[in-house]
Amino acid sequence: MENPNHKHLLLLTSLLLISHSDLILTHTQLLPIVRCSGHGADRDVYIVHVKHPNTTHLLAAADRETYYKTFLPPTAAAGGEQRLMYSYTHAISGFAARLSEAEVEAMASREGFVRAHRDKQYQLHTTHSPGFLDLQPDHCFWKESNFGAGVIIGVLDTGVTPFHPSFSDAGMALPPSKWKGACDFDTRFCNNKLIGARGFSRGCRDAPLDLDGHGTHTASTAAGGFVNGASVLGQAKGSAAGLAPRAQLAVYKVCDKACFGSDVLAGIDQAIADGVDVLSISFGARSAPFYDDAVAIGTMAAAAWGIFVSTSAGNEGPREGSVENDAPWVLTVGASTIDRTVRSTVKLGNGQQIYGESAYQPGNFPATQLPIAYPGARGISRAKTCSDGSLDGVNVRGKIVLCETGGANTSVEKGAIVRRAGGVGMIVMNGPTEMYTPEARAHVLPAAHVSYADAVKLKAYMKMAPTPTAAISFAGTLYGTPQAAPAVAAFSGRGPSAANNGVLKPDIIGPGVNIVAAWPKSVGASSNPTNDESIATFNMISGTSPAAAHLAGIAALLKASHPDWSPAAIKSAMMTSADTLDRSGNLISDEGLQPAQYLATGAGHVNPTKADDPGLVYDLWFSDYIAYLCGLGYTDRQVTSIARTGVECASVAAIAAEELNYPTIVVAIGANAQKTVTRTVRNVGEPGEAYAAAVDAPEGVAVSVFPDRLEFSGANETAVFDVYFTTGDDVEGRTGAVAEGQLRWVSNKHTVRSSISITFI
């Protein structure tokens, strides 16, 4: 007999589910979504590449699935779940399935099998910017590119907060006719701004709602519309807008707290099918060979389909070799500071003043001297970082508490821990790796985040003073602050790229510190996610995540103004026109206020206006990447799995990585040696333009360019040149050292600049 309460129960369950997950979604207009039952053991998921059947383009999705299933054991997986999780069409030739290692081994002898690799996890890259990039509503380039109108940006992330005013479609045109995507929200939530929203989770459809904030922040950074009066707790007030405020957004939820490669491939597969122009990816994993990296594999397909891919360089800097997302077909974006600080001032009992930052600036906090507590004074590392549980037994009641960065909790969580323990204020102290990169976070109590140099001063004062005290006061948002900007953020991922030594990574830097963008729930001291009705919230976060989203937005502007440019041409335009000097005219500095290496900045800091008119571009096509992959020494099966089509490297003219026609140059060279790299440029400037080569040679290396003059009689003409590197015996003792220089092609209208990074071997 049917249970009459069955429907009712289901409804209640779904309501409970929704209120459970912290949503501000008071009305639950989500479409019914098929949810997976058990998720099974994730370590037993494999991504399997199989030969592209020569008739695939004629096969319907169902036929492809049938073909893929022929590779699978006929039984259910160990946990009783379905074997097949995803049947891919565009991102790879293959599928994701639940398999044991033995089952994969058995499959390997099957005709048509190429290779398989275990699914793995990727981490999200988060720990007034259009104005800083010199884009104002009446600015020529913003206007000329019509704010990105007609371009679709796909954002692979944690989903989106659909009803946020940043995603209102006031003034937006209908999606372009090539758009084939869908929206898994109620149609009232998708509109002419948010034109698509899909979710993929462990082989199932998932509601694309953002329960984290990361995806809402990156989507609105790339393409949020204009929202007047945006601010974070009253700070950094202004009109908020993404970089391409008229571009359309398609959101692919492929991450919760982390992202699985198989879900990412499903998102990319869908984005290609839907017709996006640009992809924004703000998560990653430690550099691995490209054939074992689902993001590298999927983005190769996207690039081959003409989609520009912007990715984050990772937040594991300043460690050498920490750069992630380092394939040459994506733009790898590092994070830099902007010229805005939200200042909170710490005045010590001895009169010394220290400047810190905090987005939470309460008006009613008295700037009176209060006792300071330093739970880490006794050297216990959990207490140093104010990690959860470490303040038990420490008397912090009524005090300002010193907490170091690091440990299990974010600085905002540390504030909550301090507050819970009875503390009234907090000073977050940078360590020797973060140096001068403080973050203005939306803290839950009066706080100041200070530099390492100031942390050293603070600790010295704690040691000397018999009863140390401090007062915190708030100075609000300051622009054009004396601190050099842009400067590379401490956490920004650094080269050299492990998988890809021979191509400079990261490619470029863009705003990634204290970036204000849309957020699903309120932040700060009074935040109470369960009863919050105000949806127009914004948050200030830092990471290479917002940096990659910025560059995705800029790519959309360039795509709108140059629809015929390839992804590599757009990338070249951004890189060869990037700034190498900061706003004070000094070389861009790093977190230690020293001139930053190219291994931190790549080509430099993005300059959108100059990127619109680069003069020349270094272009790249699918066949170039195949030649490059064969040159890395990958096997035919490995290259085939990335290429989606059978490749025999023996019949490919393989090239060394440094020979890839990249807009930057990396060369490894020993003493008394010679090396030549060849590049091809295409004229996208005026017909009749003539360029002369200007070289700043890296120390210890003689550099010459032939020919050293290039003349283009027509638009779109190409020219080939060689760059010769010669060393003497004076570099003998410099093995492992890096020297930097640059090549500039200079006409009377353009300067086309390439960073040159030499490693002595």
Ligand X SMILES: *[C@@H]1O[C@H](CO)[C@@H](O)[C@H](O)[C@H]1NC(C)=O
| Least distance in angstroms from the C-beta of 527 to ligand X | 13
Residues 6+ apart with CB under 8 A from 608: 133, 134, 135, 141, 243, 554, 557, 558
Q: Tell me if 55 contacts ligand X by CB under 6 A.
A: yes
492 part of the active site: no
C-alpha closest to that of 299 among 742, 619, 625: 625
Binding range to ligand X, per CB under 6 A, among 1-9, 224-232, 335-343, 411-419: 411-419
| Least distance in angstroms from the C-beta of 148 to ligand X | 22
List the one residue from 22, 42, 256, 413 that touches ligand X (CB under 6 A).
413
Provide the mask over 2-41, with x wherever binding to ligand X is found by CB under 6 A and - wherever it is not: ----------------------------------------
Q: Tell me if 258 contacts ligand X by CB under 6 A.
A: no
List beta partners, residue 136: none
| Least distance in angstroms from the C-beta of 193 to ligand X | 31
Binding range to ligand X, per CB under 6 A, among 170-178, 406-414, 477-485, 730-738: 406-414
Q: What is the DSSP letter of 269?
A: H
| Least distance in angstroms from the C-beta of 177 to ligand X | 21
Q: Tell me if 111 contacts ligand X by CB under 6 A.
A: no
157 part of the active site: yes
> What is the greatest pairwise CA distance in the chain?
91
Q: Tell me if 408 contacts ligand X by CB under 6 A.
A: yes
Binding range to ligand X, per CB under 6 A, among 121-129, 328-336, 409-417, 603-611: 409-417
| Least distance in angstroms from the C-beta of 600 to ligand X | 29
Binding range to ligand X, per CB under 6 A, among 135-143, 407-415, 627-635, 746-754: 407-415
Q: Which is nearer to ligand X, 222 or 541 (CB)?
A: 541
DSSP 732-754: GGGTT-EEEEEEEEE-SS-EEEE
For residues 309 and 672, give the distance between their C-alpha atoms in angstroms, rounded to a whole number: 40
For residues 118 and 271, give the distance between their C-alpha atoms in angstroms, rounded to a whole number: 23
For residues 489 and 221, give the distance between their C-alpha atoms in angstroms, rounded to a whole number: 18
Q: Tell me if 256 contacts ligand X by CB under 6 A.
A: no
DSSP 96-146: EEE--HHHHHHHTTSTTEEEEEE--EEEE----HHHHTT--TT-HHHHHTG
List the one residue from 251, 272, 416, 752 that touches ligand X (CB under 6 A).
416
Q: Which is nearer to ligand X, 113 or 179 (CB)?
A: 113
Q: Which is nearer to ligand X, 236 or 416 (CB)?
A: 416
Enumerate residues 269-308 that contact ligand X by CB under 6 A.
Answer: none
Binding range to ligand X, per CB under 6 A, among 34-42, 289-297, 412-420, 660-668: 412-420
Per residue, what are the HEC states of 527-573?
Answer: CCHHHCCCCCEEEEECCHHHHHHHHHHHHHHHHHHCCCCCHHHHHHH
Q: What is the DSSP letter of 731?
A: G
Q: Binding-site residue total for ligand X (CB under 6 A)?
A: 10
Q: Tell me if 568 contacts ligand X by CB under 6 A.
A: no
| Least distance in angstroms from the C-beta of 619 to ligand X | 6
Mode of pairing for the β-strands spanning 469-479 and 370-373: antiparallel
List beta partners, residue 690: 711
Q: Which is nearer to ligand X, 72 or 386 (CB)?
A: 386
Q: Which is nearer to ligand X, 566 or 704 (CB)?
A: 566
Q: Which is nearer to ligand X, 234 or 646 (CB)?
A: 646
| Least distance in angstroms from the C-beta of 714 to ligand X | 9
| Least distance in angstroms from the C-beta of 384 to ligand X | 15
Q: Are 501 and 389 in contact (CB under 8 A)?
A: no
| Least distance in angstroms from the C-beta of 447 to ligand X | 14
List the one residue from 417, 518, 540, 665 that touches ligand X (CB under 6 A).
417
Where do the DSSP E strands lie in 139-243?
Answer: 152-157, 194-201, 204-205, 227-232, 235-240
| Least distance in angstroms from the C-beta of 172 to ligand X | 29
Q: Tell me if 54 contacts ligand X by CB under 6 A.
A: yes
For residues 77 and 84, give the distance between their C-alpha atoms in angstroms, rounded to a whole number: 9
Q: Which is nearer to ligand X, 54 or 534 (CB)?
A: 54
Residue for token pair 């994701």: 96
C-alpha closest to that of 656 among 675, 637, 670, 671: 675
Q: What share of the chain is helix, strand, coil (3-state, %, to 5)?
A: 25, 30, 45
214 part of the active site: yes
Q: Tell me if 75 contacts ligand X by CB under 6 A.
A: no
Q: Which is nearer to ligand X, 142 or 565 (CB)?
A: 565
Q: Tell me if 564 contacts ligand X by CB under 6 A.
A: yes
Q: Which is nearer to ligand X, 180 or 420 (CB)?
A: 420
Mode of pairing for the β-strands spanning 258-260 and 94-98: unpaired
Q: Which is nearer to ligand X, 111 or 138 (CB)?
A: 111
Q: Which two tokens stand for residue 616?
A: 């020349």
DSSP 18-58: HHHTT---SS--BPP-PPPS----GGGEEEEEE---TTGGG
| Least distance in angstroms from the C-beta of 1 to ligand X | 45
Q: Pick the catalytic residue: 49, 52, 128, 214?
A: 214
Cis omega (within 30 of 0) for bond into 496: yes
Helix (H, G, I), strand (E, B) or coil at 5: coil
CA atoms within 13 A on the CB side of 406: 15
Q: Pick the catalytic residue: 545, 589, 755, 757?
A: 545
Q: Pick the catalytic residue: 44, 119, 157, 263?
A: 157
List the one residue from 14, 56, 168, 409 that touches ligand X (CB under 6 A).
409
Q: Is 43 exposed, middle or buried (0-12, 13-18, 19+ CB in 10 A)?
A: exposed
Q: Which is nearer to ligand X, 27 or 57 (CB)?
A: 57
Q: Which two tokens stand for residue 298?
A: 């999927």
Q: How many residues does the chain have?
A: 761
Q: Which two tokens stand for residue 295?
A: 């993001």
Enumerate residues 375-394 that contact ligand X by CB under 6 A.
Answer: 388
- Report how far apart, in Å, the C-alpha atoms of 335 and of each of 317, 342, 485, 509, 654 are: 10, 18, 12, 5, 33
Enumerate residues 668-727 that contact ligand X by CB under 6 A.
Answer: 716
Q: Which is nearer to ligand X, 382 or 637 (CB)?
A: 382
- CA 115 to chain centroid, in Å, comes to 28
Binding range to ligand X, per CB under 6 A, among 219-227, 410-418, 449-457, 657-665: 410-418
C-alpha closest to that of 253 among 208, 311, 205: 208
C-alpha radius of gyration, the chain, whole number: 27
Q: Which two tokens stand for residue 257?
A: 């707290």
| Least distance in angstroms from the C-beta of 408 to ligand X | 4
Residues binding ligand X (CB under 6 A): 54-55, 388, 408-409, 413, 416-417, 564, 716
- Mind telling me the catalytic residues? 157, 214, 545
